Structure 1
Amino acid sequence: MLDWLRTLLLPAENPNITQSIVVIMLAVGTGIFFGRLKLGKITFGVSAVMFTGLILGHFGYRIETHILDFIRDFGLILFVYGIGLQVGPSFFSSFRNEGLKFNILAVSTVLLGGLITALLFHFTGLKIEDLVGIMSGSVTNTPGLGAAKNTIEELQHTFPGRPFNDPTIGYAITYPLGVFGIIGVVILSKILLKINPEAEMRRFRMAKINRELPLVHMKMRVTNPEFFGKSIFQATKDFGRPIVISRLKHSGSAAVQSPTADMLMRDRDVLMLVGLENDLKDFIAIVGRPSTDQFIESDEDIHSRNIFVTKASAIHKTLAELDLYNTYDLKVTRVFRAGREILPRPSLELFYGDKLRVIGAKDAIAEVEKIIGNSEKKLLEPDFLSLFGGLLLGVILGSIPIVIPNLPVPLKLGFAAGPLIVALLISRFGGISFIHSYINNGAIYFMKDFGICMFFAAVGIHAGDGFYENFVKYNGWMWLLYGSAITFIPLILMVIIGRFILKINYLQLAGIMSGSYTDPAALSFSTNYLDSDIPVQSYAQVYPLVTIFRIFVASLLILLLT
């Protein structure tokens, strides 16, 4: 009576579409469940889907071949595109601070891992496809494995009679080593270096205070006679540092106004300033003194409100082009973008999803909303035209053949690097034509985690088919030894160079270690073990460039050494 249920849930050698979908759901569902369980301070998160897929594959569960290929590739595309959109803004801005140093260290680790892989190829006699799989698993790099498989498919089309090994086998054998290897290095380095997380946190905060100051607002009263009768424009120009005078109240009056650039300052005027704290303190010391006037904050005459950029009439327009002040008597005091707070300037280009802090009359704000949009509901709705337009551009970029002399086939960025690069560029420039960079955080997290779950399920189930036999056949213990060299040698050198030569804060260094090996499980462990979210920031700073280099290294090793 329940034969239909047994057919649906039990392993099948040649599954149909329904059975394949059930297997994928089983792998993802059980993987997410076990990924939430804690082993001490370690949680594997979505990485556990890989392990449950291996187990299901080992016990005979299969996915129809064409469905498996689609799920694997489409999942990878969604994952890397989501990562690019998520970390793109902080990735580019970080290069103005310590990001360049972090990325040089991380990319050097990638290149060293590739060099070790090439040396193992020359001294062990293993095929390069197997070693690239071992390398990708040892550094838990999923896009690198995807790029390797794409490159092998290209070679198979060019040389149809030539046999190629599946790098997924080496990846599956060494993946656990990569996860636990990074965690082990984090634990041992903390103990050996006698790291005090609280002291490291204090060091980090002091460094950030000196490097990235937030925007603040202050009140002041004009008391310096040299500035009586001087225009707002001239006073800020002579000061020479970027500040915004958002409100002005004349002495003896309760009326608050948003001053024009040509408005003249009077004795005992009260000003509301916006800018960096030290800049504002210096300006106040020159022009007057701090004020405690409460009327300047009154919303009776002018109002403060946040407006979201959601209409095409404002997207990719500069603040000077919109000219909100002269047209609507409205002043923009701050711009919020991708978690960053930006001091507005006339040349600042607005992106879809930007949040503007404006002050002015209530009627004027209502008029400006008609131009800028301010539709929070629209921001919550996924823009599928932008999403799939960006994915299409990524696939096209990844499919462009790059002819390099002496290589057997043209090099392609593939489904991993193409969408990642497009997402980074879109997030950097706010979009391309109708394709916008803004996707709300919930949608990005869903797309990223859904994609990697699909990829892990497909790869795990495929690799689980004959996993034990392959482990015995290929002498899996030796492969784990080779993988250990790729995992630990670059990591140990990274800790030594990063800590003692580059003087990197250990909390940031833990994030760089996880980011260099693109390992979310190690990142999750680091944040819990060190009781800090700082590793997440440095992880995001190095992840994009590391991913691109791992993709290129995996592809080039196969093309050069096949």
Structure 2
Amino acid sequence: MFDWLTSLLFPVENPSIGQSLITIMLAIGTGVFLGRLKFGKITFGISAVMFTGLFLGHLGYRIEESILDFIRDFGLILFVYGIGIQVGPSFFSSFKSEGLKFNILAVSTVFLSGIITFILYLTTGLSIENMVGIMSGSVTNTPGLGAAKNTIAELKDSFPGRTFDDPAIGYAITYPLGVFGIIGSIILVKVLLKIETVKEMRLFRMSKINCENPLIPRKMRVTNEAYLGKSIEDLQKEFGEGIIVSRIKRSGQKEVVAPMLETKLSLRDVLMLEGKEEDLSNFIQKVGRLSSDSFIESDSEIVDKKIYVTNPKAVHKKLSQLDLYNTYDLKITRVFRAGREILPRPSLELYYGDVLKVIGKEDAINEAGKIIGNQEKKLVEPDFLSLFGGLFLGIVLGSIPIAIPSLPVPLKLGFAAGPLIVALLISRYGGIKFIHSYINNGAIHFMKDLGIALFFAAVGVHAGDGFYDNFIAFNGWTFLLYGSAITLIPLFTMVIVGRFFLKINFLQLAGIMSGAYTDPAALSFSTNYLDSDIPIQSYAQIYPLVTIARIVTASMLVLLFA
């Protein structure tokens, strides 16, 4: 009576579409559940799907081949595209500060892993496909494995008579080693170097006092007679555009207005300023003194509001082109983009999803909102035209053959690097025509987690097919030995160079260690273990370039030596 249910839920050698989908759901569902369990301070998160997939594959569960290829590649595409959109803005801006140093250190670690892999390939007799699988698992890099498998598929098409080993076997054997190796290294380094988390936190904050300070408001009263009669434009020329005068109240009056560039200062005027603390302190010290005047904040006609950029006609327009001050008597004090605060300079180009903080009369703000869009609900709804347009461009870019002399087949960026690069560029430049960079945080997290879960389920179930036999046949203990060299040698080299030569704060270094190995489980552990979110910042700064470096390294090793 329940034969249909038995055949649906229990493993079969040649599964139907329904049986394949059940296997995928079992792998993801049980993996997500196990990933939430805590082992001390360690949680595996979504990476536990890999282990449940391996176990199900070992028990005999299978996924129909065409479905397996689709969900593996589509999951990888969703994951890397979501990463690119999420970290793109901070990735590019970080190069103005510590990002360049961090990325050089992390990418050098990637290439050192590749060199060690190549040396082991020459000395052990293992195929390069197996060595690349071992490398990808040892550094917990999923896109690298995806790139290697795509490259092998290209080689199979060009050389149909050749057989190639499956890198997923080495990946599956060494992946747990990679996870625990990075976590163990963070613990060991902290103990050996006698790191005090509180002290590192204090040193980090001191180093950031004059760097990347947030924008803050200040009230001041004009008392220096040398500045009387000078206009706001004169002040900007002297102090720079980093100081925004959002409101002004004349001495002895209660009326508060948004000043024009030609507005001139009088004795005892009260100004509301916006800018960085250091810039404001310097300005106030020279022009006057701090004020406790409350009227400048309580004027009933002048209000602060946010306007959301959702009208396509306003996207990619410069603030000077919108000219909100002369048109609506509004003053823009800040622009919020992807979690960052930006000074509203006239040359600033608006992106879809930007949030403008404006000051002025409520009726004028409402009128300006009609021009800019101000439809917050639009930002909650998923824009599938933009999303799939970006994915389309990423797949096209990843499929472009790049002919390189001496390589057996043209090099392709593949489904990992192509969408990642497109997402980074879209997030950097705000989009292309109808394809924009804004995706709300909830949608990005959903896309990333769904994508990596699909990929882990497909790879895990496939690698689990004969996993024990493969472990015995390939002598899995030697795979683990080679993997430990690929995991630990570059990791400790990074720590020595980063800590003793580059003088990097350990909280940031922990994030670089996790990011260089693209390991979210290690990142989650380090934030809990060190009781700090600082590792997340350095992780995000290096993740995109490291991912591209891992993809290129894995692809080139296969192309050159397979």
Q: TM-score when scaled to structure 2?
A: 0.99
Conserved? CA contact 2:58–2:467, under 8 Å: yes
Conserved? CA contact 2:229–2:265, under 8 Å: yes
> Partner of 1:213: helix, strand, or coil?
coil
Instruction: Kindly provide the amino acid, as one letter, of the partner of residue 401 in structure 2.
Output: P
Superposed structure 1 runs of 4+ greater than 6 Å apart = none
Conserved? CA contact 2:75–2:452, under 8 Å: yes
Conserved? CA contact 1:333–1:358, under 8 Å: yes
1:68 aligns with 2:68: yes
Conserved? CA contact 2:333–2:344, under 8 Å: yes
C-alpha distance in structure 1 between counterparts of 2:484 and 2:264, whole Å:
71
2:426 maps to 426
Conserved? CA contact 2:210–2:278, under 8 Å: no
Conserved? CA contact 1:308–1:353, under 8 Å: yes
2:467 maps to 467
1:436 maps to 436
Q: CA deviation at 1:266?
A: 1.0
1:86 maps to 86
1:394 aligns with 2:394: yes
C-alpha distance in structure 1 between counterparts of 2:395 and 2:457, whole Å:
22
User: 1:354-395, CA deviations, whole angstroms, 9 ceiling, x for partnerless residues?
Assistant: 110000111110100001111111100000000000000000
2:315 maps to 315
C-alpha distance in structure 2 between counterparts of 1:238 and 1:76, whole Å:
51
2:135 maps to 135
1:558 maps to 558
1:380 maps to 380
1:245 maps to 245
User: 1:163-213, CA deviations, whole angstroms, 9 ceiling, x for partnerless residues?
Assistant: 111100000010000000001100100000001111111111111122111
C-alpha distance in structure 2 between counterparts of 1:128 and 1:8, whole Å:
38
Q: CA deviation at 1:272?
A: 0.6
Residue ranges of structure 2 left out of the alignment (5+ in a row): none
User: 1:111-164, CA deviations, whole angstroms, 9 ceiling, x for partnerless residues?
Assistant: 000000110111111110000000000000000000000000100111000111
Q: CA deviation at 1:235?
A: 2.2
Instruction: Kindly provide the amino acid, as one letter, of the partner of residue 182 in structure 2.
Output: I
2:542 maps to 542
C-alpha distance in structure 2 between counterparts of 1:476 and 1:21, whole Å:
30
C-alpha distance in structure 2 between counterparts of 1:386 and 1:420, whole Å:
15
1:284-363 equivalence runs, <5 A: 284-363=284-363
Q: CA deviation at 1:283?
A: 1.1
Q: CA deviation at 1:28?
A: 0.2
Conserved? CA contact 1:241–1:279, under 8 Å: no
Instruction: Kindly provide the amino acid, as one letter, of the partner of residue 115 in structure 1.
Output: I
User: 1:59-114, CA deviations, whole angstroms, 9 ceiling, x for partnerless residues?
Assistant: 00000000000000000000000000111111001110100000000000000000
C-alpha distance in structure 1 between counterparts of 2:412 and 2:48, whole Å:
30
Q: CA deviation at 1:12?
A: 0.7
1:33 aligns with 2:40: no
Q: CA deviation at 1:239?
A: 2.6
C-alpha distance in structure 2 between counterparts of 1:319 and 1:299, whole Å:
26
C-alpha distance in structure 1 between counterparts of 2:223 and 2:447, whole Å:
56
Question: Quick one: percent identity of the two aligned structures?
Answer: 73
1:268-283 equivalence runs, <5 A: 268-283=268-283
1:226-245 equivalence runs, <5 A: 226-240=226-240, 242-245=242-245
Question: After the TM superposition, which of the residue ranges 198-207 and 415-424 deviates more from structure 2?
Answer: 198-207
Q: CA deviation at 1:240?
A: 3.5
Q: TM-score when scaled to structure 1?
A: 0.99
Instruction: Kindly provide the amino acid, as one letter, of the partner of residue 269 in structure 1.
Output: D
1:254 maps to 254
C-alpha distance in structure 2 between counterparts of 1:76 and 1:235, whole Å:
52
C-alpha distance in structure 1 between counterparts of 2:237 and 2:292, whole Å:
26
Residue ranges of structure 1 left out of the alignment (5+ in a row): none
Q: CA deviation at 1:285?
A: 1.5
Count of equivalent residues? 562
Conserved? CA contact 2:11–2:61, under 8 Å: yes
1:366 maps to 366
C-alpha distance in structure 1 between counterparts of 2:307 and 2:516, whole Å:
38
2:110 maps to 110
> Partner of 1:317: helix, strand, or coil?
coil
User: 1:281-323, CA deviations, whole angstroms, 9 ceiling, x for partnerless residues?
Assistant: 1111211111111001123121110111011121000100100
1:509 maps to 509
> Partner of 1:211: helix, strand, or coil?
coil
C-alpha distance in structure 2 between counterparts of 1:239 and 1:454, whole Å:
53
Conserved? CA contact 1:430–1:437, under 8 Å: yes
Q: CA deviation at 1:241?
A: 5.4
C-alpha distance in structure 1 between counterparts of 2:20 and 2:320, whole Å:
56
Instruction: Kindly provide the amino acid, as one letter, of the partner of residue 378 in structure 1.
Output: K
C-alpha distance in structure 1 between counterparts of 2:420 and 2:393, whole Å:
10
C-alpha distance in structure 2 between counterparts of 1:240 and 1:110, whole Å:
42
Q: CA deviation at 1:230?
A: 1.6
Conserved? CA contact 2:135–2:171, under 8 Å: yes
C-alpha distance in structure 2 between counterparts of 1:299 and 1:334, whole Å:
20
2:410 maps to 410
User: 1:508-556, CA deviations, whole angstroms, 9 ceiling, x for partnerless residues?
Assistant: 1011011000011111111111111111111111110000000000000
